[in-house]
Amino acid sequence: MEDKSQDTVTFALPEGALPIQIVLDELKSLYPHARYDLDFSTPLDLLVATLLAAQCTDERVNAVTKDLFQKYRRAEDYVAVSQEELEQDVRPTGFYRQKAKQIRAACQYLITNLNGEVPRTLAELVKIPGVGRKTANVILGSAFGVTEGFIVDTHVGRLVKRFGWTQQSDAVKAERELMRLIPQQEWLGLAHRIIYHGRAVCVARSPRCAQCTLAVSCPSATNR
């Protein structure tokens, strides 16, 4: 018998929360081509890009990696170069000393433990230095088409609280609740669309509720 356990919502929404189906339908309409905005060709590229993206815009990261990914094609390339040279290569992304150390440590781990290859499971990805669940979920979904978890970045964490889906401030706890609320086949696309909406409309300091097509049903908008 076919297992359809991931095809249905398995956890009740809190009272007064914005209905999930409304969000799914509306955000698909608004952002039909939403995707992770970091450019990459290989899983290793994406791992490096996500490490560089901390406290930096995707646009700046993409500008840096355009040349970086031509210079460094394998995990061994990042380890072979000096710390100082890699620092200069990633300097425009900010916090470049720490980021260069993280990239080198991550690549050394891949070489030592995984023959230089980026793994395809969440359990293995989170063992890599500098890789948490969010980064692991990004790599799995965008590089391998695998969804083991729900991407919870600052935008997702903010919006799902405004939607009334969770009150968790801890990203991992919020992710666990979202995984019980939302059908698995929607996890990746919905996360990307929420991120787009968080950047365009439901911004951090002054959400543009008057422009939001979800506002009529959103508990956060009705309380403003």
212 assigned ligand-binding residue: yes
Give the whole-angstrom CA distance, residue 134 versus residue 131.
8
In a 3-state reduction of DSSP, which class is residue 2? Answer: coil
Rounded CA-CA distance 66/58 in Å is 12
Q: What is the pLDDT of residue 124?
A: 98
What is the longest distance spanned by two Cα atoms in the chain? Answer: 57
pLDDT < 50 positions in the chain: 1-9
The answer to whether the annotation marks 218 as part of a ligand binding site is yes
Instruction: Please give the Cα distance from 187 to 202 (Å, whole number).
Output: 19
140 backbone φψ class: left, alpha, beta (φ>0; ψ -120 to 50) = alpha
Candidate list 127, 134, 161, 173, residue with the active-site label: 134
Give the integer Cα–Cα distance in Å for 149 and 107: 23
Q: Is 45 a catalytic residue?
A: no
How many CB atoms neighbour CB 67 within 10 A? 10
Q: Among 1, 86, 76, 7, which Cα is nearest to 44's?
A: 76
Any residues with CB less than 8 A from the CB of 199 and at least 6 apart, and which?
155
Residue 128 CA to residue 131 CA, distance in Å, equals 6
| Contact criterion met (CB below 8 Å) for 45 and 208 | no
202 marked among binding-site residues:
yes
The ranges assigned to domains in the chain are: 20-34+150-222, 43-117
- pLDDT for residue 12: 82
Amino acid identity for residue 43 in this structure: P
- Do 20-34+150-222 and 43-117 show the same overall fold? no
Tell me the pTM. 0.89
What pLDDT was estimated at residue 136? 97
Q: What is the pLDDT of residue 52?
A: 98
* Pick among 1.10.340.30, 3.40.50.720, 1.20.272.10, 1.10.3470.10: CATH of 43-117: 1.10.340.30
- Out of 28, 77, 153, 161, the active site residue is 153
77 is catalytic: no
User: What class has domain 20-34+150-222?
Assistant: mainly alpha
CA–CA distance, 198 with 196 (Å, rounded to integer): 5
d(CA 149, CA 141): 9
Tokens standing for residue 191: 């996360």
